[in-house]
Structure 1
Amino acid sequence: MQPVSREERIHSLDMMRGFSLLGIFLVNMLVFHSPFLYINPYSWYQTPEDIAAFSFIDQWVQGSVYPLFSMIFGYGIAIQYERATARGDVFWRFGVRRMLVLLGFGLIHAFLIWNGDILLTYALAGFLVLGLLRLSWRFLLGIALALYALPNVGLAALLYLGEQMGGVDPSQYAAVQELQDSISAYGLGSFADIFSQRIDDWIYTNGWGLFHLIPTIILPYVLLGVVARKTQLLERFSERKAIWITLIFVGLAAGTFIKFLPYTLGDSIFTVYIQDIFGGPLQAVAYAGIIAFLTSIRVFQKVFHSVALAGRMSLTIYIMQSLIATTLFYSYGFGLYGKVDVLAGTMIAIGIFILQLIFAQLWFSKFMYGPLEKVWRKLSYQTFM
């Protein structure tokens, strides 16, 4: 097994990763600097600036970038599988080893740095994908759509019926005690207090929900990425522009319509759920097509070359964002937790990402791989590269 060379990389894939990292950071920043998990953001923010900043993130970024990143993750797995198969190598052993390393990164990140980790979830979904790679793209597409549509449509219907029957909507209320605990731990507490609160927050956002999140949300996205690779959607982009144009217009129109429902029909547990579950993935597909089109333009490639470089070291950039943000906002750093509004937090995220682009440019002028990517490759390929 050998790593993908610089010449073999798909530039548009790196560009998508890079822009996804910015979007993920904008969303994560809401949790980094405030007890976002325990409020109703549609009624919590009061100033016009905060309302506008949150609305932009909610309508165009939240729920729309992590599906894209998940699809890219699946695309990458499929590339590695195809190249290993072409060489006659046994891929599953390497794949399992690679997912185990990613799982290790996820455990460290989730419980020692930040509770909002997604690496652990990707690794667990990756194990499931390894057993499905031999299937045809049509079969994989059917599995992905069935896993996604059946449980999520069913749950959406139950939420709608509950709303129509006049049930209490818990999303309309702030969890006051949990909110105060978060501010006390992250803003003022010791490292032990922060660790304890991090565990509580992880259980609150994940817990048993992982058994729903992985097979019905993350796994279908990853499988769609495998399907995209098997059908050569990016490699044969110039031949399939009609498909991409259709995906862009349908995804953007339908996805944006659904994403705006909490603002047109009112925010409820039903509208917020379908906003992210159905509107987000549609926007994600449209974003993938837009980036693929723009990457085919030489000027765009040059101007945003550093974004693609950040995409090449996505693991490093992602964990670096958590390290920088927790240092800024937690008590063991600058202690700004709960003291920054949405607009300021958004500007901070953009500023940090720009610095990361500069870092990526400088790093790749000297090295072939990002620092954490180097460790991941070494442990996966069991060799120095």
Structure 2
Amino acid sequence: MNQSTNHPVLKKDRIIALDILRGLAILGILIMNIQSFSMPGAAYLNPMAYGDITGINKWVWILSHVFADQKFMTIFSILFGAGVIIFTQNAERRSGKSAGLHYSRTFWLLIIGLIHAHFIWYGDILVSYALCGFLVYLFRKLKSKPLLIIGILFISVHSLIYLFFGMSIGYWPEASVAETQNSWLPPIEALQQEINAYTGSFSEQMAQRSASAFMLETFVFLTTFLWRAGGLMLVGMAFYKWGIISASKSKAFYVRGWLISWLIGLPIIIYGLIQLFANNWSMEYGMFLGSQYNYWGSLFVSFGYICIIMLFVKSEKFKRLKSRLAAVGRMALTNYLMQSILCIFIFYGIGFALFGEIDRTVQIVIVIAIWLLQLWWSKPWLKKYLFGPFEWLWRSLSYRKRQPFKVKQGQL
């Protein structure tokens, strides 16, 4: 058998629970991403850096932080790890091998991510996923428990790095402290420069965007994304092998998992939030120790979301909503990239140039509008086409063969 025997998974072979969970994740990540689309980058980590943080805007930020920040990206990372297992198992079942196809698929995801990061939006996660994907493939044959343990160890590395930074800050050169302070709470001139760049010409946007993307792809990847995303992918492999994210466990398991995880995670996050305000969002506290409460608490809240969605999948109710969410999940790459395309048209100089002008309350209104659009369009699209347009491109490149695109009778 050879690679020609491999082909993308058809609808009849898909796991509906994973599609629904992926649909929720891809919609949910926009709650946080909208902040980077619409405001200077520092505001994502430090709400005091830019924008109104009083009244309704403050509550929008608090609720987003508690229930969304790092939660949906955690779920998406878990699903990516599960996807590596599913993809390689299918390839090995058909042709007896998977390495070449996996690395081809991951390489082209990296290329798509680099184009996305440098030409559309610097906050891209696909580059980091691809780089982690090259590594986690090596662990796919491990049993669930070792995968979970190694995954947690990976996730812990970031905390060790940041706690070391925070504890050693008193020994840093003054120039390094000042540079870090300026990234945490940029001066007005720097904020205005970023606003001017993104509301300016395409070349001005490119210069600003590529610089930010390169920082995320190097320093931030090595200190954060490698360990968190890579570790969560290993956790996702374990969860898939245990049947947790395919709705294979009992309702009692998911109810118990939801309650316990939220009873642990939410107090950790809320306590961390109280401490951030008590410490006046200082760089010395907020960037390092202060960031760790949500870093760990979000893992528990994310598991609670997974349990809620598995209960939702097992329910006989809301069948239309399930089918809509599953369609969004089947087109996750397309919907992720379309979120970027829509948002840069709204906020960047190539469109309405509203970057820096929209407060957090209106941002959420835009998020909901995009959710409704993607829930509306994904299902009708998949009635006519086998994949989303970017999924089709990715698969054609990965298999080095033009894939069928339009639905034919009996093909699904």
TM-score, shorter chain, exceeding 0.5:
yes
**Among 374, 387, 393, which residue is 1:375 paired with?**
393
CA contact (8 A) 1:152 1:277 kept: no
CA contact (8 A) 1:262 1:271 kept: no
Q: Are 1:352 and 2:370 an aligned pair?
A: yes
* Map of 1:176 onto structure 2: 188
CA contact (8 A) 1:38 1:174 kept: no
**Among 259, 266, 271, which residue is 1:261 paired with?**
271
Aligned length: 381
| Corresponding residue SS for 2:96 | coil
Residues 205/235 of structure 1: CA separation in 2 closer, same or farther (3 Å cut): closer
* Map of 2:356 onto structure 1: 338
The one-letter code matched in structure 2 to 1:313 is M
Offset of 1:17 from its aligned partner? Answer: 1.0
CA contact (8 A) 1:13 1:72 kept: yes
Which whole-Å deviations, capped at 9, do the CAs of 1:201-228 have from their partners, x for residues lacking one? Answer: 2244443221223431111101111111
| Corresponding residue SS for 1:339 | coil
Identity among equivalent positions (%) equals: 28
| Corresponding residue SS for 1:7 | helix
CA contact (8 A) 1:313 1:369 kept: yes
* Map of 2:228 onto structure 1: 217
CA contact (8 A) 1:38 1:176 kept: no
Q: Distance in 2 between matches of 1:164 and 1:51?
A: 32
Q: Distance in 1 between matches of 2:355 and 2:37?
A: 8
The one-letter code matched in structure 1 to 2:236 is G
Which whole-Å deviations, capped at 9, do the CAs of 1:148-207 have from their partners, x for residues lacking one? Answer: 22x244245446646999x989486344333111111112x2111100010222244443
Q: Which moved more, 1:274-283 or 1:43-52?
A: 43-52
CA contact (8 A) 2:43 2:49 kept: no
* Map of 2:241 onto structure 1: 230
* Map of 2:283 onto structure 1: none
| Corresponding residue SS for 1:285 | helix
Q: Please show how residues 301-316 of structure 1 align to structure 2 within 5 Å.
A: 301-316=319-334
Residues 38/61 of structure 1: CA separation in 2 closer, same or farther (3 Å cut): closer
Q: Which moved more, 1:168-177 or 1:73-82?
A: 168-177
* Map of 2:209 onto structure 1: 198
Q: Distance in 1 between matches of 2:352 and 2:49?
A: 28
* Map of 1:130 onto structure 2: 137
CA contact (8 A) 2:47 2:53 kept: no
* Map of 1:142 onto structure 2: 149
Q: Which moved more, 1:309-318 or 1:277-286?
A: 277-286
CA contact (8 A) 1:148 1:216 kept: yes
**Structure 2 stretches lacking a partner, 5+ long:** 1-5, 278-285, 405-412
TM-score (norm 2): 0.86
The one-letter code matched in structure 2 to 1:248 is W
Offset of 1:139 from its aligned partner? Answer: 2.2
The one-letter code matched in structure 2 to 1:154 is L
CA contact (8 A) 1:159 1:269 kept: no
CA contact (8 A) 1:33 1:340 kept: yes
Offset of 1:269 from its aligned partner? Answer: 2.6
| Corresponding residue SS for 1:299 | coil
Q: Distance in 2 between matches of 1:270 and 1:213?
A: 12
Residues 309/272 of structure 1: CA separation in 2 closer, same or farther (3 Å cut): farther
| Corresponding residue SS for 2:299 | helix
**Structure 1 stretches lacking a partner, 5+ long:** none
CA contact (8 A) 1:255 1:281 kept: yes
TM-score (norm 1): 0.91
* Map of 1:11 onto structure 2: 16
Residues 202/215 of structure 1: CA separation in 2 closer, same or farther (3 Å cut): closer
Residues 31/234 of structure 1: CA separation in 2 closer, same or farther (3 Å cut): closer
| Superposition misfits of 4+ residues, deviation over 4 angstroms | 159-165
CA contact (8 A) 2:122 2:212 kept: yes
CA contact (8 A) 2:17 2:246 kept: no
Which whole-Å deviations, capped at 9, do the CAs of 1:277-308 have from their partners, x for residues lacking one? Answer: 20112111111111011111122232342121
Q: Which moved more, 1:240-249 or 1:293-302?
A: 240-249
Residues 270/213 of structure 1: CA separation in 2 closer, same or farther (3 Å cut): closer
Residues 226/51 of structure 1: CA separation in 2 closer, same or farther (3 Å cut): same
Q: Distance in 2 between matches of 1:24 and 1:141?
A: 24
Q: Which moved more, 1:152-161 or 1:70-79?
A: 152-161
CA contact (8 A) 2:36 2:43 kept: no
